[in-house]
């Protein structure tokens, strides 16, 4: 097999950090762009860089302690090998968080560099932990979002947006409570920072993630794209944390009625959405549509 060697015995050094950072990134870009029939060997890389080099199917000869966490990462790598790490996306993401050029390069491999040559493994996982923003670009997540926007067709013209839950698969206790009195002409859709939106028809399709990392942008972007695609008559929002993101995603879409049962704003704590008074208020707006204020845009 043809071999390409990248010698990092002398690390890139530039007068400006921005230029030096770019040189760091070029190493991983070069590996990513190398066809899979060519063996890449990296000589004396920093210890922190080895996990991503392995993920890109590169081999390593020697190493150096260049960054503060290099010795720690090398101790971790003593207990695992290349093949084991290439099966553990969660560990890879966690180790890449130690250096900005690694987190950046991992994102680039998913979204840009590997369009021509796929050097990374894909062991599809139904369940995974969200470790960082890179988890939002796992292939399992991107595959689900492709299904959402290209295959799923809503069957109702009214919907209620509710928050996600740690318990998976859905439904959570809140979802079950709402489903017990949800009118037949409504669809229940879960708003999530990882998957954007999960309609009931995709609950069995969606991966089961465990996340403590919010992503308002994913919610806002998905809401805007989804409700621009499909003409719902009425959207009822019964959320806490992502209420602001949903509002911003919907506010440029004037044709449908948008009713916020919970106040719009940024929430730092979870709201008890199973509170009987809040549930009663929700039922009012679902059953007889209540008294809509501000032309149906917001109900406080």
Q: Domains of the chain: which residue ranges?
A: 2-123, 142-296
pLDDT at 200: 96
pLDDT at 288: 65
| Distance spanning both ends of the chain, measured CA to CA | 67
pLDDT band for 287, please (50, 70, 90 cuts).
Answer: confident
CB 135 within 8 A of CB 128: yes
Helix count and strand count (H, E) for the chain: 11, 10
Per-residue pLDDT of 49-106, as tens digits, reads 999 999 999 999 999 999 999 999 999 999 999 999 999 999 999 999 999 999 999 9
pLDDT at 62: 97
Which one has a higher pLDDT value, 127 or 241?
A: 127
Strand boundaries in 79-216, DSSP class E: 127-130, 158-163, 186-192, 196-199, 208-211
Structure tokens at 201: 């028809």
| Average pLDDT of the residues in 223-250 | 95
| Average pLDDT of the residues in 270-286 | 93
Using CA atoms, how far apart are residues 231 and 65, in angstroms rounded to an integer? Answer: 57
Residue 298 has pLDDT above 60, yes or no: no
Using CA atoms, how far apart are residues 62 and 251, in angstroms rounded to an integer? Answer: 55
pLDDT band for 5, please (50, 70, 90 cuts).
Answer: very high
pLDDT at 289: 58
Taking phi first (over 0 means left), then psi (-120 to 50 degrees means alpha), and beta for anything else, what does residue 244 get?
alpha
pTM of the model: 0.90
pLDDT band for 294, please (50, 70, 90 cuts).
Answer: very low
Q: What is the DSSP letter of 262?
A: S
Which residue has tokens 């994102």?
A: 107
pLDDT at 115: 61
Average pLDDT, the chain: 92
Using CA atoms, how far apart are residues 131 and 46, in angstroms rounded to an integer? Answer: 22
Residue 300 has pLDDT above 50, yes or no: no
| Average pLDDT of the residues in 113-128 | 83
Torsion of CA 95, 100, 103, 106, to 10 degrees: -110
Residue 20 has pLDDT above 50, yes or no: yes
Determine phi and psi for 236, rounding to 5 degrees: -105, 130
Looking at 3.20.20.140, 3.40.30.10, 3.40.50.10630, 3.40.50.920, the CATH number of the domain 142-296 comes to 3.40.50.10630
Residue 6 has pLDDT above 80, yes or no: yes
| Average pLDDT of the residues in 293-299 | 44
> Inter-axis angle of helices 89-96 and 100-111, to 10 degrees?
130
Per-residue pLDDT of 151-186, as tens digits, reads 999 999 999 999 999 989 999 999 999 999 999 999
pLDDT band for 254, please (50, 70, 90 cuts).
Answer: confident
CB 226 within 8 A of CB 197: yes
| Average pLDDT of the residues in 220-236 | 95
């Amino acid at each position: 097999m043809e071999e390409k060697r990248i010698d990092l015995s002398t690390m890139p050094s530039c007068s400006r950090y921005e230029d030096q950072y770019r040189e760091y990134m070029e190493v991983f870009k070069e590996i990513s762009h190398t066809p899979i029939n060519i063996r890449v060997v990296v000589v004396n890389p920093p210890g922190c860089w080895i996990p991503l080099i392995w993920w890109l199917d590169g081999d390593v000869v020697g190493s150096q302690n260049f960054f503060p966490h290099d010795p720690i990462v090398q101790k971790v790598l003593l207990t695992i090998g290349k093949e084991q790490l290439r099966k553990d996306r969660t560990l890879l993401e966690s180790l890449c968080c130690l250096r900005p050029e690694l987190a950046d390069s991992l994102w680039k491999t998913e979204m840009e560099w590997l369009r021509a040559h796929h050097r990374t493994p894909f062991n599809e996982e139904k369940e995974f932990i969200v470790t960082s923003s890179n988890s939002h670009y796992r292939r399992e997540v991107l595959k689900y979002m492709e299904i959402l926007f290209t295959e799923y067709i809503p069957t109702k013209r009214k919907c209620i947006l509710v928050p996600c839950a740690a318990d998976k698969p859905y439904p959570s206790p809140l979802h079950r409570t709402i489903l017990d009195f949800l009118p037949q002409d409504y669809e229940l859709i879960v708003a999530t920072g990882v998957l954007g939106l999960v309609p009931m028809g995709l609950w069995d399709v969606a991966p089961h993630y465990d996340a403590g990392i919010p992503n308002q942008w994913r919610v806002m972007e998905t809401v805007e794209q989804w409700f621009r695609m499909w003409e719902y008559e009425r959207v009822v929002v019964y959320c806490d944390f992502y209420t602001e993101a949903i509002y911003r995603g919907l506010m440029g879409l004037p044709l449908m009625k948008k009713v916020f049962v919970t106040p719009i704003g940024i929430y730092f704590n979870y709201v008890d959405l199973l509170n009987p008074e809040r549930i009663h208020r929700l039922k009012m707006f679902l059953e007889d549509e209540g008294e809509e204020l501000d032309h149906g845009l917001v109900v406080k």
